[in-house]
Each structure stands twice: as structure tokens, then as C-alpha cells.
Amino acid sequence: MSNSATQAVEPSAKLVRRKDWTIIGLIGIAHSSSHFYQLVLPTLYLSLAQEYGYDFTQLGFLATVFFLVSCLGQASSGFVVDRIGPAPVLRFGLLGFVASALLIAISDSYITLLAAALIGGVGNSIFHPVDYSIINHRVSPQRLGHAFSIHGLTGNLGWALTPVFMATLIYWFNWRIAALGAGLLVALVLFLTWLGRDLLSGRNQPMATSVESEPATVTASVDLSQKSAWATFITLINQPALWGAFLFFACTAAALSSVQNYTIPMLDQVYGIDKVLAGTTLSAYMLCAALGMFAGGFLVGANPNTERTVAVSLVLAGLLLLVLAAGMVPPSAAMVLVGFAGFCSGVASPSRDMLIRRVTPKGATGTVYGLVYSGMDVGSSAAPIGFGILLDLGYSFAPWVGAAVAFVAAAGLALWVAYAAQQNRSSANILTN
């Protein structure tokens, strides 16, 4: 190749790389804002209770409404993403957060707070269909693993930011200013996504080619975005692999919810660790999970059998939680094991997202990710109540044991999803030949 040709290729490769990382950064910021907003209402519970005298049942119901609406919306918003493109849907979701935050800031009744929770849930429902549609269609194959890992990493960072951000504004001003500040922060993200709208746009473009992106279903030659929503839905629900993926997300979300909700009281009750140190340990779990997601991005490229990475890492996380539940280690070791469990669960995330990519038919990226990720809302809603009842009945180790069982079940489901995808691919090859 001549020097001039080589010089032409190198700038082109640099431009593609720069474009990829800009897209990954924009989607990461948007995803972080969704996780950030999920905790806005919970961080205001004490302030709202003091201001209006609401009990925790009333306050908890606000979060229930938020995630219930998000679950229903997530399962359906993917259809919209596949038909009008992800960029306008992303701006709609962010605008929903801004409107919800403004309602909280001016609220003077419980009905207003319920409306804010409902609108916030609608806004939250669009992110996974939008994000994964953009990543799968706009990021080069060689950077997909990193895109998935950064996506998960920024989500965890969004969770970590909310308590600090809200507590600081409440301390300096009051809870209404804190809610307004949350809305302004999301408005800034909305402005950034509007500036980058050309990078994020793109409707039903062919998914970047790679070994992982080969069609896994007999409908791969059919562009489902050209079909009606009902026809697309019927096609998808007849694919067992997608039901397996839905259950996989429900199990992993149930495990995470159990760890998030009950690790602090369990470290206190089982190991005698004070609540402040236990809270720090839970933060370490989330930080280690984020580091695991980053490391998992490299494993996606190194190991094409992503289901094995998912299965091994989740089984290890489950085993560590069982050791914790047995109460057989000293308190200092227990805190370390919590962090290791977080790291193992985080490693699975990028490979998990690549696995779902393998079972996604053409023209249905947003729809598939919306449907399977709605399983997360199901698991997040059901687990706290179930494990809370078990704790009240005296089963003190139930949350960690339940999380371990859920992780192991998810590992088995990941292997089954990969097997079902391979069977569908084989069927497609037979029909083609």
C-alpha cells in the first residue's frame, strides 16, 4: 500500500474511534442520569416525612409506582425506538425526568408526588431500549465490549452520585432546591444529547457485523421494524430464548435488590458491624461491581463464548454470598467478601449484554432489550417484599441465600439462552440451505 493510501486509512480509523468513544460517552452520561434519578425520591423520604408527616408505607409506594410504570413502559417503548429511532425517544425520557423533578420541587400534596413518580417512571422506561439500540447500531464491533462495560459502569456511578448530590443541596438549602437541582442536572444532560443528536440518530441501521451479531433466529432475514407492533410482539414471544433472557434479568435484579436492601442490616445482625461501616461496605460492593464491569469489557473480546463468562462469574458471586450467609468468617473478611461478590457480579454485565445481542432479530433491537430488561423491574419490585417477609419470620440469612440462589439460577439461564440461540441458528441454516 502506498504512503498516501496509508495516510488516508489512518485518519479514517482515528475518526471512527473518536466517533465511537463520543457516542459511548454520551450514552454513558444519559444512562448515569437514569440511575441518578431512580434514587431522587428515596433520598427525599426523611424530608418529606418531616414536612408532611407521610409514613414510610406512603413514601415507599412512590417508588413502587415509579418502577411499576417503568416496567410497563420499558416493555413497550422498544417498539417505538425501532420505528422512529432512539434519539428523539431519549430526549423524551430525559424531559420526563425534568418535568418530574419540577413537580417534586413545587409539590404541596401527595397526589402531586404520585404524579411526579408516574412521570419519572415513564421517563425511566426508555433508557435500556434506547441505549442498547444506539450501542448496537452506532458503535464499531471492536469496541462493543467496552461500550457495554462503560454503560454499566456509568449506571453505578449515577447511583453513587445521588445521595451526595441531594444531601449536599438539602444541607445548604432545602429539599425543594435539591429536587430542582436534580432537574437542572438532568436538563444539562438533555442539552448534551441534543448537541450530539446527529451522532445518536440512526434508524434501523444494520447492526455492526461480528461473530456475535450473526442472526440467531429463523426470522433474522425479516426486518421486524417494518412489521406492526402486534406482529413483532407475536414473533418475539414465540422465541424461548427471549423468555429465558427475561427470567435471567429478573433473577439478577432480585439478587442485586436483596444485596442493596439488606446487606447493611445483615452485616449488623450477623457480624456485629456497625451501620456506618456496613453502609461503607455496601458502597464498596457497588464500586467493585463497577470495576468488574470495566474488566468484563475486555473479556468480551477475549472470549467469544460470553455465556460462559456470565455463568462462571455469577456462580462465584453466589458462592461468596453463601459463605457470608453461613457466618463462618470474621467481620473484616466478611466486608472483603462483599466487595469480591460485587466484582464478580459486575464482570458478567458486558458479556450478558453481548449475549442478548445474539438473540436479537433484525429491526427489533429496542424491542428486545425493552422486553428482557423489564425483567429487572419485576425482580427489583418483588425481591424486597419477599425477603423482608422472610426476615420478619426469623430467617436471618434469607436475603444472602436468596441472592445466591438467584445468581446461580441466572447462570443456568444464561447457558440455556446461548443453547437456544444456537439451536435457532442451526434451524435458520437448514431453512436457508
Question: pLDDT tens digits, residue range 343-393?
Answer: 999 888 877 777 777 666 665 666 677 777 778 778 877 776 677 777 777
Output b/e per residue, 271-307; b: 16+ Cβ within 10 A. bebeeeebbebbebbbbbbbbbbbebbebbbeeeebb
Encode pLDDT of 58-69 as tens digits. Answer: 887 888 788 888
Q: Is the pLDDT of residue 161 over 80?
A: yes
State which fold the 16-209 domain adopts.
Answer: Growth Hormone; Chain: A; (1.20.1250)
Q: Which one-letter DSSP state was computed for residue 204?
A: S
CB atoms within 10 A of CB 230: 9
38 closest CA partner among 157, 171, 200: 157
Enter the C-alpha cell of residue 323: 459463605
Q: Is the pLDDT of residue 282 over 50?
A: yes
283 Cβ contact partners less than 8 Å away, ≥ 6 residues apart: 160
Question: For residue 432, what pLDDT is reported?
Answer: 42
Average pLDDT for 31-52: 88
Question: For residue 215, what pLDDT is reported?
Answer: 40
Question: For residue 366, what pLDDT is reported?
Answer: 64
Q: Is the pLDDT of residue 227 over 60?
A: no
Question: For residue 433, what pLDDT is reported?
Answer: 45
Encode pLDDT of 285-320 as tens digits. Answer: 878 888 888 888 777 665 667 788 889 999 999 999
428 closest CA partner among 216, 249, 167, 246: 216
Residues of the chain with CATH 1.20.1250.20: 16-209, 224-432
| Bigger pLDDT: 222 vs 214 | 222
Where is average pLDDT lowest: 38-47, 232-241, 288-297? 232-241
- Residues 210, 305: Cα–Cα separation, whole Å: 13
172 Cβ contact partners less than 8 Å away, ≥ 6 residues apart: none
In this prediction, residue 222 has a pLDDT band, given cuts at 50, 70 and 90, of low
Q: Is the pLDDT of residue 427 over 80?
A: no
Average pLDDT for 125-150: 86
Question: For residue 116, what pLDDT is reported?
Answer: 96
- Residues 204, 217: Cα–Cα separation, whole Å: 18
| Bigger pLDDT: 327 vs 228 | 327
13 Cβ contact partners less than 8 Å away, ≥ 6 residues apart: none
Asked if 260 contacts 429 with a C-beta cutoff of 8 angstroms, the reply is no
- Residues 94, 358: Cα–Cα separation, whole Å: 29
Helix (H) / strand (E) element for 385: namely helix 365-392
What is the residue-wise DSSP string for 212-228?
Answer: GGS--STTTTS-GGGS-
Question: What is the rounded average pLDDT for all residues in the chain?
Answer: 80
Average pLDDT for 144-156: 84
Q: Is the pLDDT of residue 220 over 60?
A: no
Average pLDDT for 45-62: 83
Cα 173 versus chain centre, distance: 32
The CATH class, in words, for 224-432 is: mainly alpha
pTM of the model: 0.72
Where is average pLDDT lowest: 302-306, 331-335, 414-418? 302-306
Question: For residue 74, what pLDDT is reported?
Answer: 81
Asked if 129 contacts 366 with a C-beta cutoff of 8 angstroms, the reply is yes
Cα separations in angstroms, 272 against 19, 269, 275:
50, 6, 9
Question: For residue 424, what pLDDT is reported?
Answer: 62
| Bigger pLDDT: 315 vs 214 | 315
